[in-house]
Each structure stands twice: as structure tokens, then as C-alpha cells.
Homo-oligomer: A and B are copies of this chain.
């Protein structure tokens, strides 16, 4: 084997190997504490650390002392505004979840108080979520009928809420927030659109005044259920529904065009409820096919700790429901919080948010509340109303408390059809066809994920859609890992820069040298593929008789962040094969992870440190030097 006279300008450094535990601790920190939340604790006295720790876990202790009266005035207005939305929405969504309407009100009382203490967002308004409500009803309703066994059904819902809370808080404590990231933007767009479509279809039950209805959520079952009962359609109910729907959509449209009038949109649901109730009271429409809410119990949330059931028959169902709904509302809550924090330029800690949302659901499940989060619609109203802090949630909770204590009898005559109109209005905005179109333009695969999620939800079930979309997204990542791309590089004219000849058509290949760039970490999942692909590159290059005889193969490892033992075996095989073909293998820019392992596995020893260069440019310079000064040299190394 020829020794190299060529003086390599720079050496590739092999970083000193750290003790195992140090590097493990470092990896753990990068993996679980990327934002380094305990930075501020560093070097503080113990008392100060305790205060900082309390402030860390209970953010209200941090910002509370600085709270001003001016902020309170703003929060008061915002709180009353969202309360006027919370009451009708709470009742509507409870209806959607096949729960007694009063539970919707309970759910707007306790959780906001907990969130105000623990949450780190200043804008999130806590409340129940339409999609999760539907999901709860479709998943648990299959097991226990809410009509035949109402008490048992409610118990299951509380238990599922408890599991959601535990799961959410656990994700936060264990800093496993990245699980939420598995729901990609595309998945969420498709899923939300599908769920909104399904929820709207379900509301046809209320609009048409139907009493019996399917528990399935897919398009086909719902439409069949509607058209089978065509003779039970009530025109009075339908007419009322259409009027209110028109009114609500109109106010929404108006507020969107003139943001200053956001309060019209915020007040419209309550106005509809009042108007609808008065109308029914005056016309006694409840006797002509218009269903009403009926009697609502006065008083605050009863305790339900003892109602939680962990018995065997439904345990798995409640856990599954809890986890699925928990992760969905978590994703929405965190995404919403993050977006509004970005508007106002403050920071939200995802893991802390998870703990806050989890705690409010655990406490909620003990106090007659079902699953809550920070829904987009309510938060947007809160933001537009000028909220300054989580105090607006406390104001809303107080308003709901007053409603619960004194005003529930007023809802006796509220027609269900108004609630349906409120839900439809909220849902229409979630069918985000513009985003879907944007995905198509930008990334075809993301579009496929989005559409399959939509189709899965609308024609299959909510779970089917979700699982399909997540599986497809994961598959994409796995395929990208299993089939990394390799590029031939060429020289950019008038430089020592080497780039892909596909991307830069003016880049010129170097005669006698094949430069390949590998595009991903080398793992067991792709090492076989890479070997085959690299062999093919070499063979294609050697078969091409027009070109100069191939002498050097340079592997550019700039994009190879790490390598495992299968990958090292693969490199060794490529080296052997290259030797056999009379070629010299050269490595360019191995990164610290890679060079460490190549060193440990004696690969560097076997190929010679002098064949590893810091840049492709330097590697090519060395190869050219060898090619011209000692032409027969690489042939010597044939085995």
C-alpha cells in the first residue's frame, strides 16, 4: 500500500471519549430537557431555590404579585365575554357527549380555576372540546348506552377523564411531550376537518328534531339513520334551526370581517339561547316537536371521587378512551397556547402545560367535570376580548358559578335545536380546505396523510382516521430512514466546493473520482440498502467506458449524524469490495459520533488515517495529487 507524500492541510479530529455515565447524562439531558428548565436554579441559595421551584410548578405565584388593577379590568371584560360563550357551548357539547347538560356547566367551573393557578399561558380559555365530546360518546356509548344506563355511562366518562388527566400529567412529568408531536400538522388538519364534518352531520338529529339516532359516527350510518326516519322530521324544529344557524353564521362572518366587533360573535350564542328560550316559552313550541333542555339541577359541582370505577369489565375501554381523547385535547390545547403566546411574544413550556391540563382533568374528574382543554374558539374570543392573564378564566368560572347557583331554571325552555346551531357554527370553521390545498402544493405526502385522516374519520370512525394518519406519518419517516438518498457530487466552478450534480447542473464531476454523499444516519434499517446502492453507483461509474478509469471513491459523511454497528459492518464491506475492485475508499468529514465509532472499531486503522479528510475539497485534492504524481499507486493496494 502506497504511503502518501501529500500533506493534508487539516486533520479530522477524534473527540476524546467521555466516561460512559457522563455521556449518558448528556444524552438524557438533550433528550428530555432540551429547554434546560432548571437553568435559573443554578447557583442560587436553597431558600431562593424553594421559591423558584414553587414558582416553577405554580406559575400564579410568579406573576400574581405583579398583577395590576388595569390588567384586572381587562380580564374582567374578557372573562364575562367568554362566560357568555361558555354556558351555551358547555350545554351543547355535553349534549354531544351524550351527557346531562348540567355536566357541561360544571366543566366550566372547576377546571378553569385549576388552570389559572398552574397554567403558563395568559390567553388560553379553558372549556370542553367538541371533537373530544363526540369521541367520548362514540367510544364509551358503544359499551354502555347513555340512554339505558345513564348513571353507569356518566361514571365511565368521569373515569376516562381521570385517565386522560393522569396520562397528560404523566407526559408532562416524564417530559415525554414529544408524543404529542406525533400528530403532525397534516394529520391534525385532516382529522379536525373530518371530525367537524361528522359533528355537523350528527347535529342534523337536533335540527330535524329526531329522537332516535345511530351511535355510529361515519357518514353512511348517519345519513341512513336520517333518511330512514324521514317521516319523523319535524318542520318546526328544522325551521327554527335554520333561522338560528343563519343568524349565527352571519354574525360570525361579520365579526371576521370587522375584528373590532368580535363581541357580536362572542355574544351571539348566548343571545340565540335567550331568544330561542323566550320564543319557545311564548309559543309553547315544546309541545309541537321542538325538544327543550328541561329541568337543570341548581347548585355547584357534586363530588364524584366515589363514582370513578376501576372494575374489570370496562377498565380497558376507559383507559383507551382516556388516552386517545387525552392526547387529542392535549395537542389542541398546547398548539393553541403556543400560537397565542407567539403573538404576544412570551414563552410557553409544553411540559408544564401538560401538567396543568392533566391536573385540571384529574381534579375535574373528582368534581363532576368531563374532559377539558384550551379549545381554539374560546381562546380566540378571550384573546380578542383583550385578556391579560389567566385571571379571565377565574372570572369566567365565577360567572358560571352564579349561573349554576341561581340561573339554571332559566334554561328550561332552551330548545335543543339552538344548541345544534351553535355547534355547527363552531365546527364549520374547522373544515380547513385552504390548508389542505396548501399541503397539496407544498408536500404531496403530507396531503395524502391529511386526506386519509379526513376520509378515515368521515367514512370509518374517528379512531380509524387518527390511527391511519399517524401510521402513515410514521411510515414516511421510516421509509425516509430505510431508503436514504445518495448523491453524486461535482465541483462548483471556480471553487473548492462540491455539491450534488442533480441540484447544481453546472457542478463538474472529477475524472477518476466518484464522490458520493450519504443523506442520513446509517442504521441497521438502511445499511443493506446503502451497500447495494453504493455498489450500483460504483458499477455504473466503472461501466461507463467514456470516462477516465475510476480510481477513488470518496464518501462524503457530512450528513451522517450517527452510525450503529450494522452501519460499521457495511462500511467495512464496502472497503473490502473497493479493495477487490482496485479502488481506494476515502472518507470526507466524518462527524464526531461517526469518527469515534470508526476509531473504536479499528476501521480507521484498517483504512489508514491518511484517507480521511476534513472536506470533500481536500479529499479530491489529495486524490488528484496521487493520480498525477504516482499513477500506479492505488493499483498497489489491490488484494
Contact = CB atoms under 8 A, between A and B. Distances in A.
A525 B30 CA distance: 15
A526 interface: yes
Contacts of A559: 558-559, 561
Given A15-B503, A185-B569, A186-B565, A442 B536 contact: no
Contacts of A439: 565
Contacts of A185: 524, 565-566, 569
Nearest to A533: B34
A524 B483 contact: no
Contacts of A118: none
A43 to B, nearest CB: 14
Given A529-B34, A559-B561, A520 B521 contact: yes
Interface string A56-85: 000000000000000000000000000000
A444 to B, nearest CB: 7
A36 interface: yes
A483 B597 contact: no
A615 B616 CA distance: 13
Given A181-B526, A444-B20, A536 B566 contact: no
Contacts of A345: 580
Contacts of A482: 178, 181
B532 A35 contact: yes
A485 B562 CA distance: 10
A600 B437 CA distance: 13
A183 B521 CA distance: 17
The majority secondary structure among interface residues of chain A is helix
A483 B34 contact: yes
A65 B17 CA distance: 57
A232 interface: no
A620 to B, nearest CB: 14
A230 interface: no
Contact of A525 (B34, B181, B347, B441): B181
Interface in A559-601: 559, 561-562, 564-566, 568-569, 573, 576-577, 580, 589, 591-592, 595, 597, 600-601
A500 interface: yes
A473 interface: yes
A47 B376 CA distance: 66
Interface stretch (A243-251, A259-267, A491-499): A491-499
20 contacts: A10-B492, A13-B505, A24-B444, A30-B483, A34-B532, A34-B533, A178-B525, A178-B528, A181-B482, A181-B524, A342-B573, A342-B576, A345-B580, A442-B597, A443-B564, A443-B597, A473-B525, A477-B525, A485-B561, A503-B591
Nearest to A557: B559
A439 B597 CA distance: 11
Contacts of A569: 185
A216 interface: no
Nearest to A349: B532
A477 B441 CA distance: 29
A446 interface: yes
A75 to B, nearest CB: 25
A635 interface: no
A495 B10 contact: yes
A178 B564 CA distance: 17
A566 B338 CA distance: 14
A520 B564 CA distance: 16
A593 to B, nearest CB: 8
Copies of this chain per assembly: 2
A524 B495 CA distance: 36
Contact of A500 (B443, B525, B592): B592
Nearest to A601: B442
Contact of A528 (B350, B445, B568, B615): B350
B181 A503 contact: no
Of the candidates A350, A443, A482, A484, the one having the most CB atoms from chain B within 10 angstroms of its own CB is A443
Given A350-B528, A446-B565, 6 more contacts: A177-B528, A178-B525, A186-B564, A187-B524, A442-B600, A558-B558
A479 interface: yes
A203 to B, nearest CB: 31
A614 interface: yes
A568 B178 contact: no
A564 B479 CA distance: 14
Contacts of A558: 558-559
Interface string A3-44: 000000110010100001000100000110011100000000
Nearest to A495: B10
A181 B185 CA distance: 30
Contacts of A438: 565
A502 interface: yes
A597 B440 CA distance: 12
Contact of A480 (B521, B565, B597): B521
A504 interface: yes
A409 to B, nearest CB: 47
A182 interface: yes
A184 interface: yes
B564 A446 contact: yes
A65 B627 CA distance: 42
Nearest to A16: B505
A107 interface: no
A497 B532 contact: no
Contacts of A307: none
A468 interface: no
